[in-house]
Amino acid sequence: MNNVENTLNSKNLLRKNYYLGSIALLIAAVGLIVTRLLFGLGAFDNMPTAVSDFLGSFIIQIVFIGGGGLIVLSIQHYWGVGKNKLLLAQDTDKKTGIKSRLKEMGFRLPRIYLIPLSFLLGILFFIMTIGVSYINQLILLLMGYNIPTYRRSGRRNRAVFTGIIYYCSFTGNM
């Protein structure tokens, strides 16, 4: 009977977590649409291009995606949906280690051969990605596409470093 109750409770917790994840996705999608709509209507046209790009990326990625995630996490924390089983002590008299708690939750150690296999597969897929990219570039060149060359226009190293950090942090360009 206890096992049936645990199964039903875990299904309810999964359903609640699914709904909360859907709320976060909805917030992010609506935020993306609203931000794109504002850019389309010209709300940021009077700003320099770099500022409007940064502002658009910041609004989408920090405000809507990060804010939606924080809203869902706060709902999950305050309503107690899917509390972390690692932090909940079953018996206060008995001290249990993290290994035994993980085993109770159904986790187990991976088979030892999977670790080097995953490493080798990662290298293989990296090489395959390079090959596919090369073939794609070769097809484009055979079709007559000329790859543009860019010159460095005397920008200082600080500006280059700042640009790299910006584009690594905010990948979506307006």
Dump pLDDT digits (tens) for 83-119: 555 455 554 545 566 677 667 767 777 788 988 999 9
CA distances from 140 to 5, 129, 143, 146, 147 (A): 59, 17, 5, 8, 9
Per-residue CA distances from 135 to 36, 59, 122, 128, 141 (Å): 34, 37, 20, 11, 10
Q: Which residues of 103-113 are buried (b: 16+ CB within 10 A; e: fewer)?
A: eeeeeeeeeee
What is the arithmetic mean of pLDDT over 77-85? 61
> Cα torsion for 28, 34, 38, 40, to the nearest 10°?
90
In this structure, the number of other CB atoms found within 10 A of the CB of residue 27 comes to 19
Task: Give the whole-angstrom CA distance, residue 2 versus residue 8.
Answer: 10
d(C-alpha 174, C-alpha 164), whole Å: 17
Give per-residue pLDDT as tens, 156-172. Answer: 556 666 666 666 666 55
Looking at per-residue confidence, does 143 or 106 come out higher? Answer: 143
Using the predicted structure, report yes or no on whether residue 153 has a pLDDT greater than 60: no
